[in-house]
Amino acid sequence: MFHQLLTPVGDNLALSFICAILPIVTVFVMLGLLRRPSWQSSIAGLMVALVVAVALWQFPVGLALDSIAAGATFALWPVMWIVFTALLLYNIAVRSGNFDQFKGWMVRNLPNDRRIVLVVVGFSFSALLEGVAGFGTPVAITSSILVGLGFSAIDALTFTLIFNTAPVAFGAMGTPITVLAQVTGIPDTALAAMVGRQLPFFGFLLPFYVVAMYAGWRGMIKMLPFLVIAGGSFAFTQFWVTNYSDYHLTDAMAALVSLVVSIGFLQVWKPAADPAYALTPIDMTPASGHPLRGWIPWVLISGIVILWATFKIPSIGALNIEWPGLHNQVFITLYDKAYAAIWAFQPLASGTAILVSAILTALILKVSLGEVLRCAALTWRQIRMAVVTVAAIIALAYLMNYSGLNYTLGLGVASVGAVFPLLSAFLGWVAVFLSGSDTSGNALFGNLQVVAARQLNLSPILMAATNSSGGVMGKMISPQNISTGVATTGLQGQEGAIFARTFKHSILLTLVLSAIVYLQQYVFPAMIPVP
């Protein structure tokens, strides 16, 4: 059994920390400075991690290759299976003409103003998709809608990536919180309530923030009543559901309330017409069938995934496969326990639920089998480089986990003492940047946050929840999320430019969260729920 080394470089934590962060720096530099495609950046980071892990952390080559293979496998199933089926649904909607009906409904029922559409589609509708699918698919689908309504591709993708922070901690029916509770031993209801006392600040803020990015301060002020309604209804519902109802339904409820209230408000209030923000003209001829026909794919996916989770269908036929040569072959020195390596294979995972939604959509919209197969081929062409990116970046995360690099990083951050609340969010940020998933980020550093909190006499509930809240701020710069987003916007090869545009916002929002956490720990401790 390999025992992880925490300070292998000169028996010095600072030097070891600097070496451990080299793979992450490599990805940052390749993406942000050299503007290389995300698949190249991810592979480069993986190669650097392999050299550092084997040469400095003395990680056996066999275990290193096993951890890379385990990570790449997880990337393929369930992560990219979800992405593939969600984009297949999208392509079926496009091929059938239903997607144009959906855009037409937006044009007919919303004011002729891209600022309004940006919030309704990029914020509220995207949050609904995050609640049922996640893993980058909300960004891919909603950014494509925005492009069709007159936004430039890079603007559409940048804005939806930033909007995608607010719902992520409760994505996929609250899975990140469920996993965080499992690894920390803290009740999931307490963790959900704590996250629900952090992220609503951002749920309210983001519509103002993103519209100001797009239209400037004056352009944002003219939308003020609408932004208050859209952000306020989402934030209040997010807070209420996480603290007084079932947190698994947080995203679905917050997104639906925001959509309904926002669209309802627009029936009695409209901004002054501004030709600078007029939507791109599209065919306004009413499509055959019911006016709401364009919503069919999205109602189906929401309903089926919610029912799928409610009746625990993914557990049917599920297999927990111990990864050969890796399971319990690594000892986590920091936690004093063996490191399991179990691949949870669920044939009926949520990606399969989305496939069922896609099949039903094709049947209802009378899309032929041949057309569905052509949509499947198109979907593969769209995501094949994203598959390489996601496999490489999650393999990198697994390698850094099993070799001990990530635990050295975590120990370094946790050693700062009383200012730890200011840095706690950045642990989750790093974890989600690497894995692309708040769920995986919680599995990685959730327990470390609790261990550090107890050593420093801080609130374990607050620090564990901050791991999840901080993670969502790293989602917008994750190569996984970016590479999925470019699949439908024609921006393949420009991932570096997108990373550069979102990076500063990711840092700024994480710093704001850090300040909130610091205040919750030392100034307003009554905000921390009692389990």
pLDDT in tens, 31-58: 888 989 889 999 999 999 999 999 999 9
67 three-state secondary structure? helix
Secondary structure letter of residue 76 according to DSSP: I
Strand order in the sheet with 2-3: 2-3, 330-332, 337-339
Q: Residue 498: its pLDDT value, please?
A: 94
> What average pLDDT does the structure give for the chain?
92
- Distance, CA of 511 to CA of 147 (rounded, Å): 31
Least confident of 215-219, 382-386, 443-447, 506-510: 443-447
Interior angle at CA 206, CA 79 and CA 151, nearest 5: 75
Q: Is 359 helix (H, G, I), strand (E, B) or coil?
A: helix
Whether the predicted pLDDT of 284 surpasses 60: no
Closest residue by Cα to residue 404 from 30, 29, 63: 63
Per the CB < 8 A criterion, the answer to whether 242 and 465 are in contact is no
Rounded to a whole number of angstroms, the CA Rg of the chain reads 22
Amino acid at 103: K
pLDDT of residue 103: 84
Distance CA 58, CA 408 (A): 14
The tokens describing 48, both together, are 């650097």
pLDDT of the residue at 182 = 84
The pLDDT of residue 291 is 63
| Closest to 127 (Cα-Cα) out of 228, 206, 229, 214 | 206
* Distance set, CA 23 to CA 19, 154, 476 (Å): 8, 27, 19
Asked whether residue 287 carries a pLDDT value surpassing 60, the answer given is no
Top mean pLDDT of 143-152, 232-241, 306-315, 350-359 is at 232-241
Mean pLDDT, range 164-178, rounded to an integer: 90
**Cα separation, 409 vs 484, whole angstroms:** 28
Provide φ and ψ at 83, rounded to 5°: -60, -45
On the question of pLDDT at 132 being above 90, the answer is: no
Q: Helix (H, G, I), strand (E, B), or coil: what is residue 333? A: coil
Query: What 3 state SS string does 367-425 have?
Result: CCHHHHHHHHHHHHHHHHHHHHHHHHHHHHHHHHHHHCHHHHHHHHHHCCHHHHHHHHH
Q: What tens digit of pLDDT does each residue of 183-238 get? A: 888 999 999 999 999 999 999 999 999 999 999 999 999 999 999 999 999 999 99
pTM of the model: 0.89
C-alpha to C-alpha distance for 508 and 518, rounded to whole angstroms = 15
* Average pLDDT score over residue span 155-167: 95
Distance, CA of 393 to CA of 351 (rounded, Å)? 20
Predicted confidence (pLDDT) at residue 134 exceeds the cutoff of 80: no
Asked whether the beta carbons of 179 and 443 are under 8 A apart, the reply is yes
**E strands, 323-365, in order:** 330-332, 337-339, 342-345
Q: Which whole number is the average pLDDT over 328-340?
A: 92
Cα distances (Å, whole numbers) of residue 182 to 175, 191, 205, 251, 274: 11, 11, 31, 21, 51
Q: Which residue has the tokens 């992220």?
A: 199
- % of the chain beyond a pLDDT of 70: 98
Q: Are 441 and 431 in contact (CB under 8 A)?
A: yes
The average pLDDT across 513-528 equals 97
pLDDT beyond 60 at 401: yes
The token duo for 196 is 């629900």
Helix (H, G, I), strand (E, B) or coil at 336: coil
* Ranges 163-172, 323-332, 355-364: which has the least confidence: 163-172
Residue 89, pLDDT > 70, answer yes
Distance in angstroms (rounded) separating the CA atoms of residues 229 and 225: 6
What's the pLDDT at 292?
76
